Amino acid sequence: MSTVEGGQIAGHLIVECLVAQGATHVFGVPGESYLAVLDGFHAYREQIRFIINRQEGGAAYMAEAHGKLTGRPGVCFVTRGPGATNASIGVHTAFQDSTPMVLFVGDVASDQRDREAFQEVDYCSFFGPSTKGMAKRVERIDEADRIPEYIARAFATAMNGRPGPVVLVLPEDMLIKMTSARPMPRVEPVQAWSDPGSLRDLREMLLQAKKPFVIAGGGGWTPQAAQALQRFAENWKLPVGNAFRFQDTFDNHHPLYAGDVGIGLNPKLAARIKEADLILAIGPRLGEMTTGGYTLLQPPKPKQKLIHIHASAEELNRVYQADLAINATMNAAARSLEVLTAPPEVPWAGWAEAANADYEGNMVPQALPGDIDMPAIVGMLKKHLPEDAVLTNGAGNFASWVHRFFKHHGLVKGHKTQLAPTVGAMGYGVPAGIAANIVSGRIALTMAGDGDFLMNGQELATAAQYGAKSIIVLLNNGMYGTIRMHQERDYPQHVSGTELRNPDFVGLARAYGYAGVRITRTAEFEPELLAALERNQGTLIEVMLDPEVITTRGTLSGITKAALQKKQ
């Protein structure tokens, strides 16, 4: 293979180390700065697959989706300068979403560094590891013999504590050096267990509560952890809400499920969280989206008692001062909680039943104009998609339809089924869906907006090249809908920068090798979905959505009218 007497070139060793760490797919855009690594992928092509993307942002999103889906670091390769800056959106998403990921950046040769060489960037400054940065660690590999050390550390850092991205920089001249170094063994994440004293305190706080509420989410969940969480909730009859865009953490069909705690929050659920006397946050970092702009829980000291369990000690007491902070990984935390002895009866049984009733009541849609009934379309997705289907989306009001009306079984059934960016990044859904199908072989359905699709729609070419199949439901309302909604609230009738002149999406999909269809009425959707599920190729279903239907609860003109009345 690549090994010769005295060793092999460093570029080949990097690929061998990735294979040793269990990587099966790598996403990227080729660059002359890491040709030696590309040659390594050729040498090890039977063991690891290099997926050629059309833009580094799409490649980084695919790697991030891989990390979410598998719990192992998604891997991305890009070239220096523009390649790295394009990929930074995926790194930022992985950081805020707590997703394990490793980005490799081909760099200028060592003897050209610090001269502003062609496309040279200071990656330590750019990716800036810190609580406000984009990566957990940024390192340059200058010595070929240390490649196994750096890669093993990158995988460990990406998975341990709060999962996140690591950036490794590869000088071009280092990659062609000979080395006899060998890969290090596969790294597994370390489990941090709750201390017994804290668990006793947690139980005592639960026994004293009258209106407790669980918020579950964040990175690091496995099917085993989700199943243990469900047993804990059942033992104690606790109402559970899933954090923003972690809606597959707790079974949405369960009678203790209270809904998703995120954007477009059910007003009754928002009131319930504020009314609770104890919040048990298991996994989420309690960011802006999950806390309703830091209003559901007031920082730095919420009026509710707060138990915060998180895998990272640095995250605990950073924004919210908890009454009880527990540093534990999700597998360990959930398994510790499920064995806590519950009393025969709890005073909040009615409270939990009411929380679930509010959630089910939120499934009843408001009447909205137009020939497309989006709740009915989501109902068809629930009816026909298999239980293990992966749903993906980018950022925009269009995502609120599946967030509100789709029910996930999710991890408790053994599969992660939601890939969505808590960072609020547009363009995520299309590449994430393609990556999900490539990596898992499962049905992947993407909900996209027209503006959202155009940010990474070129990755349909990647899907076609590798025989990947995703189904894209593209809601076309001719605008950047979320921004237009905010625009009408703050500057009613002053439309600026939010109108879109769109291409022929059906023709565009077909040009890339997907099937493309357009519907204008609700009744047209179901046969097209069934046909898409039967095809061997991917399908884009363009849904012509009335621009008035701007949210799941109201119209654009209604928002404008309310804003004008407020200004009078």
pLDDT digits (tens, 9 = 90+) for 151-201: 999 999 999 999 999 999 999 999 999 999 999 999 999 999 999 999 999
Q: Which residues of 389-399 are buried (b: 16+ CB within 10 A; e: fewer)?
A: bbbbbbbbbbb
Q: What is the DSSP string of 474-502?
A: EEE-SB-HHHHHHHHHHSTT---S-B---
CA angle 177, 179, 184 (to 5 degrees): 130
Predicted pLDDT of residue 2: 44
Tell me the C-alpha distance between 416 and 290, whole Å.
20
Q: Which residues pair with 446 in a beta bridge?
A: 392, 472
- Alpha helices (runs of H) in 98-212, residue ranges in sequence order: 123-127, 147-159, 196-208
What class is the 196-361 domain? alpha beta
349 CB-contact burial (10 Å; exposed 0-12 / middle 13-18 / buried 19+): exposed
Domain ranges of the chain: 8-179, 196-361, 374-567
Predicted pLDDT of residue 50: 98
Which of the four CATH numbers 3.30.300.130, 3.40.50.300, 3.90.45.10, 3.40.50.970 does domain 8-179 have? 3.40.50.970
Tell me the C-alpha distance between 257 and 355, whole Å.
8
Predicted pLDDT of residue 67: 98
Q: Are 318 and 300 within 8 A, CB to CB?
A: no
Q: Output the six-digit token pair for 439.
A: 């990596």
Dihedral of the CA atoms 193, 194, 196, 202 (nearest 10)? -160
What are phi and psi for residue 266, nearest 5 degrees? -55, 120
Q: Which residues of the chain have pLDDT under 50?
A: 1-4
Of 559, 385, 538, 376, the C-alpha closest to 469 is: 538
Tell me the C-alpha distance between 433 and 452, whole Å.
14
Measured between its terminal Cα atoms, the distance across the chain in Å is 76
The residue whose two tokens read 């294979």 is: 19
pTM of the model: 0.95
Predicted pLDDT of residue 3: 47
Predicted pLDDT of residue 6: 61
Of 25, 22, 33, 35, the C-alpha closest to 62 is: 25
Q: Are 543 and 473 within 8 A, CB to CB?
A: yes
Task: Specify the amino acid at residue 289.
Answer: M
Q: Output the six-digit token pair for 430.
A: 């299309």
Q: Are 327 and 162 within 8 A, CB to CB?
A: no
Tell me the C-alpha distance between 473 and 514, whole Å.
13
**Strand 515-519 relative to strand 25-28, pairing:** unpaired
Q: Output the six-digit token pair for 203.
A: 């139980």
Of 550, 544, 552, 538, the C-alpha closest to 430 is: 538
Predicted pLDDT of residue 1: 44
The answer as to CATH 3.40.50.970 being correct for domain 374-567 is yes
Predicted pLDDT of residue 255: 98
